[in-house]
C-alpha cells in the first residue's frame, strides 16, 4: 500500500529527507519537497509535505501549501523553511522573505513552529 501515492508531487523535482524512524511501529516520517520541473517568472511555486509512512498507511502530517521560492530542509531541531511572502514579494514591499523553524519532539511525535522571521 505504501508504494502507491498521490499525484501531489507530479511534475516536480522532488527531494526526500527522513525526519524520523520509529522501528517499533515500522513507521518513518519523510519530508518531501520540490519546485516544478519548469517555471517562468519571478518565483517558482514550491511545495512541501511531511508524511507518516507505515506498512499499510501513508498520510500527510504537515503541509506547507504552495509558496513562492520555498526551500525546506532538516536541521538539528527538526526542519526549516524559507520562502517569499506572496503578498509582500509580488507587491515589492519591504521584508518579502520568511524563515520558519519547526522543532520536532521524537518521543511525543509532535512539532511546533518556534521561529517565524521576516526579512
The secondary structure element, H or E, covering residue 37 is none
Phi then psi dihedrals of residue 60, to 5 deg: -80, 130
61 belongs to a structural domain:
yes
| Domain total in the chain | 1
Range in 21-25, 41-45, 78-82, 110-114 with the lowest mean pLDDT: 41-45
Classify residue 95 as left (phi > 0), alpha (psi -120 to 50) or beta: left
pTM score, two decimals? 0.88
Residue 110 has pLDDT above 60, yes or no: yes
20 belongs to a structural domain:
yes
Range of the domain at 41: 8-118
Per-residue model confidence (pLDDT) at position 93: 97
Per-residue model confidence (pLDDT) at position 1: 42
Percent of the chain as helix, strand, coil, to the nearest 5: 5, 55, 40
Amino acid at each position: 500500500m505504501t508504494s502507491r501515492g498521490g499525484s501531489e508531487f507530479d511534475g516536480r523535482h522532488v527531494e526526500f529527507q527522513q525526519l524520523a524512524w520509529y522501528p517499533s511501529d515500522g513507521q518513518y516520517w519523510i519530508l518531501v519537497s520540490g519546485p516544478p520541473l519548469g517555471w517562468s517568472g519571478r518565483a517558482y511555486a514550491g511545495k512541501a509535505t511531511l508524511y507518516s509512512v507505515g506498512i499499510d498507511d501513508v498520510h500527510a502530517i504537515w503541509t506547507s501549501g504552495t509558496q513562492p521560492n520555498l526551500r525546506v530542509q532538516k536541521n538539528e531541531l527538526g526542519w526549516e523553511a524559507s520562502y517569499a511572502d506572496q503578498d509582500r514579494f509580488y507587491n515589492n514591499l519591504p521584508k518579502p522573505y520568511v524563515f520558519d523553524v519547526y522543532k520536532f519532539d521524537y518521543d511525543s511525535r509532535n512539532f511546533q513552529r518556534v521561529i517565524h522571521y521576516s526579512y
